[in-house]
């Protein structure tokens, strides 16, 4: 398994001045960095690709579509704009030599219609994302597109692993996978093991995050059960420790981090990495 860290733990808008973060993460022991380019115009894709090549690290891109690019919007003009933007995002990922694009890339992060998901929304989502996936397959065939399963307070569209599996199957492209996140799972799934098993081997990416967004191992997530299920479905891919720094006001507000989760971002990263590696070793070597 490859272990990574989310760039939002160390800075908000990733720019050319953020490049040293990549070497910092390598020295902390990570195999890859998952960068969230909050401002694509300022994101130094070529420089990230070169830096990661020099460091022998992988780069992943995480993203959440904005309201003007909502692939399930009732406004057809917004949906069309969303497809066009998503293709541009694929181009940026290709320039950055990204191994995967993950997150809320199938609809707007934070979009809530105020009612249950409709069949029309599902149809729009599947059709539009299939077009995006086909474009990605032509531009960067080796890159995975990972659909993140997110809790009910952040979307009404896909909240459970079974929802994501259905979506991936209906999109019908072999570059589209399920992205599981333990922070969201503990809010929505009835059982961690069953949620992993239902993916039928279609997991493409995992976020390791405690229920309170703190250091993995300090909260309620049943880590051994989770890793055992991952092993049982044959998953040995990418896992990113995801959390945020309460002292970084813009990100703290965005992710509702209202208390200190660790003494420092570096402590959260290293202690989190040690914990998930220890559980991985315990489960996968027995």
Reading the chain (286 residues) residue by residue, the pLDDT tens digits are 999 999 999 999 999 999 999 999 999 999 999 999 999 999 999 999 999 999 999 999 999 999 999 999 999 999 999 999 999 999 999 999 999 999 999 999 999 999 999 999 999 999 999 999 999 999 999 999 999 999 999 999 999 999 999 999 999 999 999 999 999 999 999 999 999 999 988 999 999 999 999 999 999 999 999 999 999 999 999 999 998 888 888 888 888 888 888 999 999 999 999 999 999 999 999 8
Q: Residue 260: its pLDDT value, please?
A: 87
Q: Which of 263, 210, 207 is nearest to 239 (CA)?
A: 207
Query: Which are the contacts of 13, defined by CB distance < 8 A and separation ≥ 6?
Result: 38, 39, 42
Element (DSSP H or E) covering residue 113? none
CB 242 within 8 A of CB 255: no
How many Cβ atoms from other residues are within 10 Å of residue 227's Cβ? 24
Show the domain range for 159: 2-284
Q: Outline where DSSP puts E strands in 109-220.
A: 144-148, 176-181, 203-208
Strand spans (E) along 156-202: 176-181
Supply the pLDDT for residue 252: 86
Taking the whole predicted model, whether its pTM rises above 0.85 is answered as yes
Tell me the C-alpha distance between 141 and 87, whole Å: 14
Give how many domains the chain has, as a whole number: 1
Q: Round to whole Å and give the CA distance between 252 and 211.
A: 16
203 neighbors 230 (Cβ within 8 angstroms): yes
CATH number at residue 27: 3.20.20.150
Tokens 């290293």, residue located: 270
Quote the CA–CA distance of 71 and 126 in Å, as a whole number.
Answer: 9
> Which amino acids are annotated catalytic?
148, 242
CA atoms within 13 A of residue 26's CA, in its CB half-sphere:
14
């Amino acid at each position: 398994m490859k272990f990574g860290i989310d760039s939002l733990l160390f800075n908000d808008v990733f720019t050319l001045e953020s490049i040293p973060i990549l070497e910092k993460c390598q020295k902390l022991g990570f195999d890859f960095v998952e960068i969230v380019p909050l401002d694509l115009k300022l994101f130094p894709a070529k420089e990230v690709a070169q830096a990661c090549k020099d460091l022998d690290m992988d780069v992943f891109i995480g993203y959440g579509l904005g309201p003007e690019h909502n692939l399930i919007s009732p406004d057809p003009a917004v949906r069309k704009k969303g497809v066009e933007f998503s293709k541009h995002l694929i181009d940026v990922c290709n320039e950055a030599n990204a191994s995967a694009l993950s997150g809320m890339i199938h609809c707007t992060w934070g979009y809530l219609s105020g009612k249950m998901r409709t069949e029309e929304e599902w149809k729009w989502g599947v059709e539009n994302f299939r077009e995006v996936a086909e474009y990605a397959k032509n531009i960067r065939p080796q890159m995975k597109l990972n659909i993140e399963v997110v809790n009910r307070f952040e979307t009404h569209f896909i909240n459970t692993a079974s929802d994501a599996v259905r979506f991936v199957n209906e999109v019908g492209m072999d570059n589209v996978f399920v992205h599981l996140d333990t922070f969201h799972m503990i809010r929505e799934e009835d059982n961690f093991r069953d949620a992993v098993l239902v993916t039928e081997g279609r997991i493409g990416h995992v976020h390791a995050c405690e229920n309170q967004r703190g250091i993995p191992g300090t909260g309620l997530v049943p880590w051994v059960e989770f890793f055992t299920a991952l092993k049982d479905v044959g998953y040995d891919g990418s896992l990113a420790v995801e959390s945020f720094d309460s002292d970084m006001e813009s990100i703290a507000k965005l992710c509702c981090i209202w208390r200190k989760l660790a003494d420092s971002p570096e402590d959260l990263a290293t202690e989190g990495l040690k914990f998930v590696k220890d559980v991985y070793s315990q489960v996968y070597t027995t």
